[in-house]
A and B are shown apart, each in its own frame.
Chain A
Amino acid sequence: MRKGAISPIADDIPSIFPIVASVLLFLGAVAYAGGVINERNDYLEISKAGLGLSDVVLAKGYLGNDDFKSQCSVSYTEFAKRKSVKFFISLKKFCRYVDFSSAQNPFVPVTRYNGVPPNDYSVTGLVCPTSGVVGPSGPPTKNFQSLVFPVAVDCKADGSQKGLGVVTIVVWR
């Protein structure tokens, strides 16, 4: 053994610390990157699902009451199931103007209708699904997609008058 040397193995002990630090740093970064990539992929998938659902909902640019109710349980639900997302669609009927502050929150009903407070809240809008999706924790607060679109809506029950409406589509996992 040369002078100053401890032993063949002990000589390498100081180098172990930077090696371990490098490995931990690298593995930690890879794990973090994986998490970030997964989260962003999730967000992009949700965004794509939201746009896809909007295509289904707004195929015509007009949403009649009966159309909306019947498609809710068929097309919309099926699409969301295929994309593995939860959704909430709110159709707000303003008819003579668009109250954008009210349109922004799909979970709050329209409080004015045709310029006057409505007697019956059911005439001011429709939602899909009607129950069971939002749950007790309320609307999603993280990693969700909310899209607002204009649409023509029935302003009279018989569909003889069509006015301004807003559809808000919220999609999350």
Chain B
Amino acid sequence: MERSQAALFDGIMLLLFASASVAMLYSFLNGYGVAQDNALRSAYVSAYLQDVGKSIFYINAASLADVARTDVQVTMLETFKKDSEASNPNVLCNPASKDGCPYADLATPSPSSDQGCGVLRKFGISSVADLLKKDLGDKGGGLDIIQGEPFTIPHPDGSRQTEHRPNVCFDDKFGHPTPVAFPQNCISHGSDPSLKARWDAVPTVPGKTALRCAMKELMKPFEQAGYKYFVDVLDNSANPVYQQLVSEGGYRITNHWQADAEGWIDCQDAINKGLTDRLTSVAIPFRVTDSTTLSSLDSYQLRICIWPGRK
């Protein structure tokens, strides 16, 4: 090869190397800071949810008495109703099912009707957390302990023992009519009219309604951004094996009316199905003094989880 040709070849090779380096540099730049940005966004969501959990300890329940559906919620609801009537009229809201229609937003026929938050007006200066604790703090003296679903406890020696764990009802009620036992749990009050009348006679402590109405307002920014939320209460046993959801009666605290592609999901379903990559969950621990006996202190967790909706 001529010397001049060799020099030209070297120059072109250098240009190729430089181009390759620049391409790698751009590739590096493309991903630079993305992981940190995602982490910071996730930190913001967690901070927001933690703040929701903190603020309910101060917000007066009575100030939530006028909470109603937003225009966005009305639109979402109408779309959902149209979809479900067209394809499957029983989807997620079937009065004949065990849970009936567990969504306050779907159970009321008129989009302009209130969400049942008006009941909070007479609860003066009680905070949302006060009512929540009162709702959960009625188990002493057998007031609100109902034998729940059987479950098995694994022991270190490998054996399993079946027990009936008592359900503490998170149901807007202070206590329950006696005697009521499994399967007449917090959710199903039975079809017997006299039993229903006795349930209706149980004093109302709208802890669940207060939390639901508070969430409607506090989660607005994320709801308008297309996120779904679900709120539940966990029995915060020190041993995770014993930890379980507190049984719910009445409406669920969610804006999630339609099953995702993976099927119906709430927080627990999402965790069980391994969908945690899409889920942000914050658990706020709190303790409840038994209002009836003042002799025991029970630990619970308020769990708020959100995930981006697909519609």
Binding site for B on A (CB under 8 A): 4-5, 11-12, 14-19, 21-23, 25-26, 29-30, 33, 36-37, 40-41, 43-44, 47-48, 51, 54-55, 58, 60-62, 95-98, 100, 103, 115, 147-152, 155, 160-164
Q: Which residues of A contact B60 (CB under 8 A)?
A: 155, 161-163
B36 an interface residue at 8 Å Cβ cutoff?
Answer: yes
A33 to B65, CA, bound (A): 55
Question: In the complex, A147→B32 CA distance in Å?
Answer: 23
Q: Does B153 contact A (CB under 8 A)?
A: no
How many residues does chain B have at the interface if contact means C-beta atoms less than 8 Å apart? Answer: 52
Distance to closest chain A CB from B60 (angstroms): 5
Whether B158 is near chain A, meaning CB under 8 Å from some CB there, is: no
Cβ < 8 Å to A, chain B residues 45-104 = 47-48, 51-60, 62-67
Given A37-B32, A97-B67, A164-B217, are A152 and B55 also a contact pair (CB < 8 Å)?
yes
Q: List 5 A-B contacts (CB under 8 A).
A: A11-B2, A25-B18, A37-B32, A149-B47, A161-B60
B29: chain A residues at CB < 8 Å are: 33, 36-37
A163 touches B63 (CB 8 A): yes
Q: Determine whether the beta carbon of B66 is less than 8 Å from that of A97.
A: yes
Is the pair B7, A14 in contact by a Cβ cutoff of 8 Å?
Answer: yes
A residues in contact with B242, CB < 8 Å: none
Contact with A along B164-202 (1 / 0, CB 8 A): 000000000000000000000000000000000000000
The reply to whether B25 and A29 contact each other, CB–CB distance below 8 Å, is yes
Task: State which of B9-17, B139-147, B226-234, B250-258 sits at the interface with chain A.
Answer: B9-17
User: A160, B218: Cβ atoms under 8 Å?
Assistant: no
Contact between A51 and B43, CB atoms less than 8 A apart: yes
Known contacts A18-B8, A51-B40; A149/B48 CB under 8 A = yes
Q: Determine whether the beta carbon of B58 is less than 8 Å from that of A12.
A: no
- A sample of 12 more A-B contacts (CB under 8 A), given A22-B14, A29-B25, is A5-B2, A5-B4, A11-B4, A21-B15, A22-B18, A29-B22, A48-B40, A51-B44, A103-B221, A149-B48, A151-B51, A163-B63
CA of A29 to CA of B4, assembled, Å: 29
B157 at the interface (CB under 8 A from A): no
B residues less than 8 Å from A95 (CB atoms)? 63
Q: Is the CB of A160 within 8 A of B63?
A: no
Chain B residues with Cβ below 8 Å from A151 are: 51, 55
Query: Is A98 touching B218 in the complex (CB atoms < 8 A)?
Result: yes
Q: Answer yes or no: B125 CB below 8 A from chain A CBs.
A: yes
Q: Is the CB of A36 within 8 A of B4?
A: no
**Cα(A115)–Cα(B44), bound, Å:** 30
Closest residue of chain A to B63 (Cβ to Cβ) is: A163
In the complex, residue of chain B having the shortest beta-carbon distance to the beta carbon of A36: B29
B8: chain A residues within 8 A (beta carbon) = 14-15, 18
**Nearest CB in chain B to that of A114: its residue:** B63
The CA-CA distance from A11 to B53 in the complex, in Å, is: 77
B156, CB-defined interface residue at 8 Å: no
Docked Cα-Cα span, A22 to B22, in Å, equals 10
Asked whether B155 is an interface residue with its Cβ less than 8 Å from the other chain, the reply is no
